[in-house]
Structure 1
Amino acid sequence: MGNPHVLAIPYPYQGHVLPLMQLSLKLIDHGVKITFVNTEFIHNRIMNAFSEENNVKELINLVSIPDGMEPWEDRNDIGKLSESILRVMPGELEQLVKDINQKDVNEITCIIADESLGWALEVAERLKIKRAAFWPASAAVMALKFSIPKLIQDGVVDNNDGTILRNEMYTLTEKMPVMNPKQFVWTCLGDSNTTKIMFKLIKHTNITVKLVDWIICNTSYELEPAALGLFPDILPIGPLLSGDRLGSSGYFWPSDVSCLAWLDQQPVQSVIYVAFGSFTIFDEKQFQELALGLESLNRPFLWVIRSDTIDKKPDMLLEKMKARIGQRGCIVSWAPQQAVLNHPAVACFLSHCGWNSTMEGVSNGVPFLCWPYFGDQFINQTYICDIWKVGLALDKDESGIITRGEIKNKAEKLLNDKNFKQRALIHQEMVITGAQESGCSNKNLSNFIQWIK
């Protein structure tokens, strides 16, 4: 009997791939062999984004299977992508496992699948391989998914398509985020057809998750005691932070590390770090308001603008702005976020509130300005602003725009009130405690590794 051999398969989005990659690197430290399965599309992006010195490729067996879509099709259409995955990937995964087990002396002994990929857990069950579900987002969102029968019973959502029947604020238990049903994870992903597809898939994963021995979640007990108390089967093992070692393992874009040298030139706690994850898209007007808002603050800022952040390239706007601000602003296409948030020059994080970004901000004691875009980001904003009280929300005006004035006012309010930073440092301390040897996350992770072995 050789080393345990784990096959890890994430949902093919940046926020899902990163934490599962970090977990895989932790398992490798304990002598576990890892085969990491991405879709071909994502696999190619990750391979192209690896830096020269990154040795993840030597540590992890990175393989890929097709997602059933043509290369040019839009994978940001989450409904279409999910249907295509379901049609093609179960058979591909099963074949992959059989091929590996024929050739490799170390057969696959365990499959860790993203909880959203319930079919992968069914494949593991068919092949009689032990299995665990990995949830990369907050326990609150998982609790919401698990509570769908209750939402149906309470007449909040329709049993057939997940549409909202009672549009009033909803909370699962007292100390959990209060949610707007319009911002449930399946209702804010696109049109009504997407809502229907995603709701059906989520209901299915509520059945497939019963096939697992472990549900592990990238969170910490200290941050989400109420959600974890509601569903004690969800075991926190987080935060799983990118860049704890090996830099950018699993990023879809190459990181521009030149921004770290620029940060070194800035005063302590002076910089506003602006990054909206891998998904957020702006129209021209909103992009312009953001640019002018940052400029009006008269503070140094580091702004990540992905190549696909905006429909039309705002080159003229940015050129003029750069001419006016000079060295006060630094703009990159992708940043080594963990290293940035850990830098003493950073004062606050203007964020889309994706869960990885939320965990990285909290773990580094950085206060937030919140600008959620879709999915679970609204619930994460509620945690940041209302429960942990480590940030402020940016509000849209009547035409749906976050104005330059709003950005300036909220940033100044956040940075002039020392309580936000103090609470951020308290939460940082809580998270670090949970990850230490005697902490809850660390104990769960150790037990999980023992189970794998």
Structure 2
Amino acid sequence: MGKLPHVVVVPAPAQSHVMSLMRLSHKLADHGIKVTFVNTDFMHSKLMAPMSNKDSQIHLVSVPDGLEPGDDRRDVQKLNESILRVMPYHLENLIRKIKESNEDEELTCIITDVTFWWPLQIAEKMGIRGAAFWPAAAGTLALSLHIPKLIEAGIIDNNGSMANNEMIQLSPTIPGISTSELIWNCTADKNMQNAIFEAALNANKAIKVCNWLLCNSALELEPWACELIPNIQPIAPLISSNWQRQPASHFLHADSSCLNWLDQQPLRSVIYVAFGSISFLNQCQFNELALGLEYVARPFILVVRPDFTDELVTKYPDGFIDRIAKYGKIVSWAPQQEVLAHPSIACFFTHCGWNSTLDAITMGVPFLCWPNKFDQFLQKNYICDVWKVGLEINPDHNGIVSRDEIKTKLDRLLLDKDIIANSSQLMEVAKKTINEGGTSFNNIAQFVQQLKQ
């Protein structure tokens, strides 16, 4: 009998990146691959906090990021510099111990986030194969890989700044995008812009040294983007086959009481409202959101993280909680895949994060889109203009999404038979690709077979 194949997985220190690589790790574990999942100490502690029991399939370990516990890790430039200075040494030592610790196992691969490309250098140095994993849409990766050409054409400069706000199109078949909506330009924070641009540039380094380029997407969802990226292996949607064994990838405890509440609601009646792990609203905008949901007067689940608004404690409009008590459910975090799979869900009011987008596509749920940063604008274009499975929210001249706009768009979405039909059709496409014989199914199977060789 051969040795048990063992892989080391290294995500970038952000929840969406951890989530998508954790989902991949569970897929690999289901195929008999041992997985050691390496977070930074800080991310590891956040990951372990909401877990009621350990995940027996995935071995969770951590290494230092070089910062002190009280340091501000939202300073991405400082964090990245510290990680590059400290983390490679500790990761290399960890990998060496894994290689030497068990004669019945063989460390066959290091899988790392494309934006975290340097572990691939360690893999190469130690004679281990390396896989680069892109956690977002293939379209975003295609844009990242075309940065040198965008600079050469004078569309952006060497720092990613745009000369003019213009539409760019990488090929005749790929949807266009405004330069103001490139992932590094979708934030006003200059340090964050620089960090995201550097991470996007790292994609060009990663694909030159990796043995596999895995992507958290599906060929059928983005054929126009996949054809621009040589050797890409789309493997999504990475949906768990067992709701009782959710991947340990969230930093907040999911309130499963909303599932029992959903059981009491009519078929396709509930608006699910969730804006991911980092979206943030000021108090004025939050009030408009709450009142807009009230005005719709339909059942809803609203996810309100403890840090969702600019108040220490979230404040609701006067009397709101009492008025919506019979048809509204508010939680601090939700088991999203289970919620979206529930037959009572009618639509998803979302920030258009990629993992959330894939979740809803796979469940056949229409979207109301409210993107605000990073790659969310590309996803909104896909949802509204390409797949035609959702509508977009529009801010007023003051940049505020009004309660009337929310009510108008939700009412329209819930009655749009074409969008509902398109959502069902896209769900079938997504399910086909991950079922036996589908492109994503085959790509994962091929990857696993090569890991075992």
Question: Does residue 400 of structure 1 match 2:409?
Answer: no
Partner of 2:15: 14
> CA 1:443/1:283 → structure 2, altered by over 3 Å: closer, same or farther?
same
Match of 2:431 in 1: 432
Q: For 1:237 and 1:315, how far apart are their aligned partners in 2?
A: 39
Paired residue secondary structure (1:4):
strand
Offset from partner CA, 1:151-203 (integer Å, 9 cap, x none): 112211102x1111131011212332321111211222442333234323432
SS, match of residue 49 in structure 1: coil
Q: Which residue of 2 aligns with 1:198?
A: 196
Distance 1:25 1:329, change over 3 A: same
Q: Distance in 2 between matches of 1:323 and 1:376?
A: 37
Separation of aligned partners in 1, 2:143 and 2:190:
19
Residues in 2 aligned to 1:247 and 1:360: alpha-carbon distance in whole angstroms: 13
Partner residue in 1 for 2:226: 228
SS in 2 for 1:338: helix
* 1:209 equivalent in structure 2: 207
Where does residue 40 of structure 2 map in the other structure? 39
SS in 2 for 1:445: helix
- Which amino acid is 2:390 matched to? G
Q: Matches of 1:387 and 1:175 in 2, distance apart?
A: 11
User: For 2:450 and 2:380, how far apart are their aligned partners in 1?
Assistant: 35
Task: Read off the aligned partner of 2:42 and give its amino acid letter.
Answer: F
Q: Does 1:104 align with 2:102?
A: yes
Once residues 368 and 451 of structure 1 are traced to their aligned partners in structure 2, the CA distance between those partners, rounded to angstroms, is 38
1:72 is displaced (CA, Å) by 2.4
> Which is worse superposed, 275-284 or 314-323?
314-323
Alpha carbons 1:239, 1:435 under 8 Å: kept: yes
Map 1:1-400 to 2 at 5 A. Answer: 2-52=3-53, 56=55, 58-105=56-103, 106-159=105-158, 161-242=159-240, 244-245=242-243, 246-313=245-312, 315-317=314-316, 320-400=319-399
Q: Percent identity?
A: 47
Task: Name the amino acid aligned to 1:405.
Answer: D
Q: Which 10-residue stretch deviates more, 135-144 or 37-46?
A: 37-46
- Contact 2:233–2:443 under 8 Å retained in 1: yes
Question: How far is 1:242 from its partner?
Answer: 4.8
- Pairwise CA distance, 1:90: 1.4
Q: Distance in 2 between matches of 1:134 and 1:314?
A: 37
- Which residue is equivalent to 2:447? 448
For residue 448 of structure 1, what is the amino acid of its counterpart? Answer: F
Give TM-score scaled by structure 1 length. Answer: 0.96
CA positional deviation for 1:322: 1.1
The CA deviation string for residues 370-422 of structure 1, in whole angstroms up to 9 with x for no partner, is 01121111111110011001001111111111111111111111111111110
The alpha-carbon distance between structure 1 residues 242 and 127, as it changes in their structure 2 partners (threshold 3 A), is: same
Shift of 1:319: 6.9
Q: Is contact 1:274-1:301 (8 Å) kept?
A: yes
**Alignment length (residue pairs):** 449
Q: 1:409 corresponds to which letter in structure 2?
A: T
One-letter amino acid of the structure 1 residue matched with residue 248 of structure 2: S
What letter corresponds to residue 285 of structure 1 in structure 2? C
Q: Is the 8 A contact 2:26 2:247 kept in 1?
A: no
* Amino acid in the other structure paired with 1:75: R
| Partners of 2:173 and 2:238 in 1: CA distance | 24
Q: Which moved more, 1:90-99 or 1:328-337?
A: 90-99
Task: Name the CA shift for 1:423/1:13 in 2 (closer, same or farther; >3 Å).
Answer: same
Question: What's the secondary structure of 1:116's corresponding residue?
Answer: coil
Q: Relative to structure 2, which stretch is displaced further, 310-319 or 404-413?
A: 310-319
- State how far apart, in whole Å, the 1-side matches of 2:7 and 2:323 are: 53
Distance 2:14 2:61 in 1: 16
What's the CA shift string for 1:304-349, capped at 9, x where partnerless? Answer: 1111111204554267211111121000011000000001111000
**Contact 1:156-1:167 within 8 A present in 2 as well:** no
| SS state at 2:167 partner | coil
- Which residue number in structure 1 is paired with residue 410 of structure 2? 411
Check the 8 A contact 2:132/2:206 in 1, yes or no: no
| Matches of 1:424 and 1:450, distance apart in 2 | 33
Task: Please give the per-residue CA displacement for 1:123-146, whole angstroms capped at 9, x wherever unaligned.
Answer: 111111100001111000000001
CA distance in 2, matches of 1:294, 1:21: 33
Give the Cα separation in 1 of the matches to 2:40 and 2:167: 37
Contact 1:111–1:130 (CA under 8 A) maintained in structure 2:
yes
Paired amino acid for 2:67: M
**Maintained 8 Å contact 1:266/1:345:** yes
Instruction: Please state how far the C-alpha of 1:244 moved relative to its aligned partner.
Output: 4.1
The 1-side partners of 2:390 and 2:223 are apart by 20
How big is the shift at 1:428?
0.2
Q: Read off the aligned partner of 2:22 and give its amino acid letter.
A: M
Contact kept, 8 Å, 1:155 with 1:166, in 2: the verdict is: no
TM value normalised by structure 2? 0.96
Higher deviation after alignment, 363-372 or 25-34: 25-34
